[in-house]
Amino acid sequence: GASMVIIKRTKKYQTEIVPEIGGKIKLRIKWIDDCTYTLKFLKVNKVIKEMWAGQEPPSLIISKIVAVDGLEYTCESRVEEYDDFVDIITIRKQVDK
């Protein structure tokens, strides 16, 4: 099943935390237009490196927002090197109280 990933985003960076395994990834985010952005890997912690078993991270992830529903949006993400692979992800914004 899918793991919950907490995404924290600033104007230039996205941090992804996987609490279930203690994983952490830092990426640079660059918006191409209102619906499309790229993510470039900057740093991954030991847990993620071990999961990848020595493989290098993809050079670039290209994500396109395809649907918005209230506090959720769905995006299709592609890895630059693999045109035939598309990952569909739903992201829910958490509103701090």
13-70 tens-digit pLDDT: 999 999 899 999 999 999 999 999 999 999 999 998 888 887 888 889 999 999 999 9
- From the list 29, 32, 38, 23, the residue with the least C-alpha distance to 9 is 29
Start-to-end CA span in the chain (Å)? 29
pTM over 0.85: no
